[in-house]
Structure 1
Amino acid sequence: MSRILAIDYGTKRTGIAVTDELQIIASGLTTVNTKDLLQFLKDYIKNESVELFLVGEPKQMDNSASESEVHILPFITTLEKVFPKIPIQRVDERFTSKMAFQTMIDSGLKKNQRKNKALIDEISATLILQSYLYSK
Structure 2
Amino acid sequence: MARIIALDYGTKRTGIAVTDELQIIASGLTTVNTLDLIPFLTDYVSKEKVELIVVGEPKRLHNEASEVETQIEKFLGKLRGVLPKMPIKRIDERFTSKIAFQSLLDTGQKKKVRKNKALIDEISATIILQDYLAGQQ
Normalised by the length of structure 1, the TM-score is: 0.98
Q: Which runs of 5+ in 1 are unaligned?
A: none
Whether 1:53 and 2:48 are equivalent positions in the alignment is no
Identical pairs, percent: 68
Whichever residue aligns with residue 48 of structure 2, its letter is: E
Q: CA deviation at 1:112?
A: 1.0
Structure-1 separation of matches of 2:107 and 2:83? 36
The equivalent of 1:33 in structure 2 is 33
Whether 1:69 and 2:69 are equivalent positions in the alignment is yes
Q: CA deviation at 1:82?
A: 0.8
Structure-1 separation of matches of 2:84 and 2:2? 16
Runs of 4+ in 1 over 3 A off after TM superposition: none
SS at match of 1:122: helix
Q: CA deviation at 1:46?
A: 1.4
CA RMSD of aligned residues (A): 0.6
The equivalent of 2:9 in structure 1 is 9
Structure-1 separation of matches of 2:77 and 2:42? 16
Q: Which runs of 5+ in 2 are unaligned?
A: none
SS at match of 1:94: coil
Structure-1 separation of matches of 2:79 and 2:104? 30
- Alignment length, in residue pairs? 136
The equivalent of 2:111 in structure 1 is 111
SS at match of 1:64: coil
